[in-house]
Amino acid sequence: MSEGVAEDSRFERKLDTSEKALVAEAGRKAHILYEGRLVSHRSCGIALAETFSLPSAPYQALRKGGITGEGECGAIKAGELVLGELLGDPDPAGPVTEELRLAAGHYRRLWDERVDRGPGGSCGSIVCNELTEVFDDFMGEPRQKFCTSIAATVAEIVAEILVRLDALEGITPIAGLDEDSRPGTGA
């Protein structure tokens, strides 16, 4: 266990088949929303918010590292915000919940272990401009695939944490998307 991350048996056990499927579904949904081939493209933060059925408006500010590219990866920041919305105290004056404290520590550890930051993130940075500077064209397909992968990985991490804390019942299907046209469904 990483330093500063509280031990909890819920994070030590293996996920069962249905839990793994739920985590995979979150990753697929974020992938589809960000990729923009089967539905209109969503920015990284909005893709994460919609994956977990949250209002997306405030997540617009996470696009391209806080609009300017000088901020941290919008997908990684969105993951933190999703956990805060779903596990935080609804009272603005309330304390940090134990679930959120636990989730935040595990989230940081998991994205650090699992998110492919590519050559731009080899020094440990998650600043958008640094992660994407290796791509000649920010609007090009290689960069889009790179960021799609990050958004999908973050969605899986968030879903896994929520599953482990018994805080995720399901992932709502994307409205208007035929079940058979989704990646990973055999179509």
Q: What share of the chain is helix, strand, coil (3-state, %, to 5)?
A: 55, 0, 40
Please determine, for residue 15, whether its predicted confidence score (pLDDT) is greater than 80: yes
Say which amino acid occupies 71: G
Helix and strand numbers (H, E) in the chain are: 7, 0
Task: Say what the pLDDT of residue 187 is.
Answer: 45
User: Within 10 A of 73 (CB to CB), how many other CB atoms are there?
Assistant: 29
Count of residues in the chain: 187
Tens-digit pLDDT profile for residues 42-65: 999 999 999 999 999 999 999 999
Q: For residue 127, give the 3-state DSSP assignment.
A: strand
Please determine, for residue 176, whether its predicted confidence score (pLDDT) is greater than 60: yes
Residues 6+ apart with CB under 8 A from 116: 146, 149, 150, 153
Tens-digit pLDDT profile for residues 113-155: 999 998 888 888 999 999 999 999 999 999 999 999 999 999 9
User: φ, ψ for residue 48 (rounded to 5)?
Assistant: -70, -45
Q: Which of 39, 16, 17, 14 is nearest to 28 (CA)?
A: 39
Please determine, for residue 182, whether its predicted confidence score (pLDDT) is greater than 70: no
pTM of the model: 0.91
User: Within 10 A of 174 (CB to CB), how many other CB atoms are there?
Assistant: 18
As a whole-number percent, the residues of the chain with pLDDT over 70 amount to: 93
